[in-house]
C-alpha cells in the first residue's frame, strides 16, 4: 500500500499581498508629492525664449501686491538691501534670482537691482541678478 501525503504543494503565487503593497506605495507617493512646493509664493512669471542657468544663492520674490520676499520671508523695501546682504554674506560672486510677477512695474525690479549693486560697491563683490521667467 502506497502512502500519500495529505498536504500537496501548490506552484501558484498569491497576488493579494502584492496588490496591497502597490496600493500603499501609491498612497505614499501621492501624499509626499503634494507636500513638495517649489515656489510657495504664487507668481505668474513673464515669458522668455532664453535660458540661463546659474548657481542660485538667494531668491527674491515680488508678488502682484508689490510685496518683497527674500527666500519666502517678507521684507519691506527699506530692509531689502540688509536682507539680501545677510543672505549673501561670505559669497564673493553669488546669484540673486529675481522672481517677479509679470504685472509688477519695472521700478520694483530696479529696486532689487539697486540693492544688489549697493552691496557690490560696499563689499567689493561681484553678485549678479538673474530675472526668472517661464518658457514661451
Average pLDDT, the chain: 86
Instruction: Say what the alpha-carbon torsion angle 65, 70, 76, 82 is, to the nearest 10 degrees.
Output: -160
C-alpha span between 92 and 119 (Å, rounded): 11
Q: Using the predicted structure, report yes or no on whether residue 39 has a pLDDT greater than 70.
A: no
C-alpha span between 122 and 114 (Å, rounded): 12
Range of lowest pLDDT (43-47, 73-77, 125-129): 43-47
- Of 43, 45, 49, the C-alpha closest to 135 is 49
Domains in the chain: ranges and CATH: 47-135 (3.30.420)
Is the torsion defined by CA of 74, 80, 85, 91 positive or negative? positive
Is the torsion defined by CA of 61, 117, 55, 123 positive or negative? negative
Q: Write out pLDDT tens, residues 50-62.
A: 776 677 789 999 9
> Which of 14-18, 53-57, 91-95 has the largest mean confidence?
91-95
Give the DSSP letter string of 23-67.
Answer: HHHHHHHHHHHHH--S-SS---PPEES--------EEEEE-TT--
The DSSP letter of residue 131 is E
Range of lowest pLDDT (29-33, 41-45, 102-106): 41-45
Length of the chain: 136
Q: How far is CA 124 from the centre of its chain?
A: 29
Amino acid at each position: 500500500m502506497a502512502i500519500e501525503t495529505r498536504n500537496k504543494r501548490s506552484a501558484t503565487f498569491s497576488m493579494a499581498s502584492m496588490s496591497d503593497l502597490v496600493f500603499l506605495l501609491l498612497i505614499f507617493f501621492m501624499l509626499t508629492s503634494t507636500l513638495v512646493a517649489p515656489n510657495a509664493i504664487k507668481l505668474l512669471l513673464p515669458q522668455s525664449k532664453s535660458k540661463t542657468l546659474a548657481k542660485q544663492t538667494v531668491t527674491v520674490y515680488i508678488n502682484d501686491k508689490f510685496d518683497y520676499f527674500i527666500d519666502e520671508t517678507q521684507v519691506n523695501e527699506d530692509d531689502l538691501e540688509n536682507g539680501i546682504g545677510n543672505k549673501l554674506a561670505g559669497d564673493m560672486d553669488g546669484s540673486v534670482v529675481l522672481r517677479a510677477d509679470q504685472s509688477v512695474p519695472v521700478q520694483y525690479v530696479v529696486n532689487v537691482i539697486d540693492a544688489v549693486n549697493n552691496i557690490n560697491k560696499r563689499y567689493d563683490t561681484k553678485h549678479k541678478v538673474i530675472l526668472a521667467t517661464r518658457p514661451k
